[in-house]
Amino acid sequence: MLNKITQFFQSLQQVNDESTPQHLSIELACTVLLCEVMRADGLLDQEERDALNQLVQQRFNLTTNDAEQLISQAIDLCEHSTDFHQFTSIVNRTYDATEKTKIVSLLWQLAHADGHVASVEEHTIRRIADLLHLRHSEYISAKTGVLSDN
């Protein structure tokens, strides 16, 4: 009986290992977070999709084709992920507070691309900022920096 229980937990771990990518690039992790904000309000309009493509190209110095491939991978990961931790942990290991604040600014830019920030988008950005261990002042700085420009 103990062997059956052990086998059960090992099979669960194996399924979990197979569904979680072993190595995500910082570019992919950040793009997944952007996609999560884009999907948060349930409306995938063309303005946000175009803004996502432009933000990814600029942030990571990618061609249009490379950005589209990265976004496609990110959307696939979004649809199969259950939390933000696997993505925010990569950002936390790679970026300092200044760079993480820039990522949160990108999240705000994307949320505002359609001219309106839905409350669910704001909540999603707040959750991501918390997981990035940003101080409230850094979160507000990123938010006001984007929203005051528009």
Q: Which tens digit of pLDDT belongs to each residue from 15-35?
A: 444 444 457 899 999 999 999
Amino acid in position 112: H
**SS3 track for the chain:** CHHHHHHHHHHHHHHHHHHCCCCCCHHHHHHHHHHHHHHHCCCCCHHHHHHHHHHHHHHHCCCHHHHHHHHHHHHHHHHHCCCCHHHHHHHHHHCCHHHHHHHHHHHHHHHCCCCCCCHHHHHHHHHHHHHCCCCHHHHHHHHHHHHCCC
Burial pattern 78-98, b for ≥16 Cβ within 10 A else e, equals beebeebeebbebbeeebeee
What is the pLDDT at residue 17? 42
What is the pLDDT at residue 8? 63
Rounded CA separation 111/102 (Å) = 14
What is the pLDDT at residue 22? 54
Contact between 47 and 113 (Cβ < 8 Å): yes
The full set of domain ranges for the chain reads 22-147
4-11 mean pLDDT: 64
pLDDT per residue over 45-80, tens digit each?
888 889 999 999 999 999 999 999 999 999 999 888
Residue 40 token pair: 């948060």
Average pLDDT over the chain, rounded to an integer: 87
The pTM for the full model equals 0.83
What is the pLDDT at residue 46? 84
What is the pLDDT at residue 82? 87
Query: Does CATH number 1.10.3680.10 belong to domain 22-147?
Result: yes
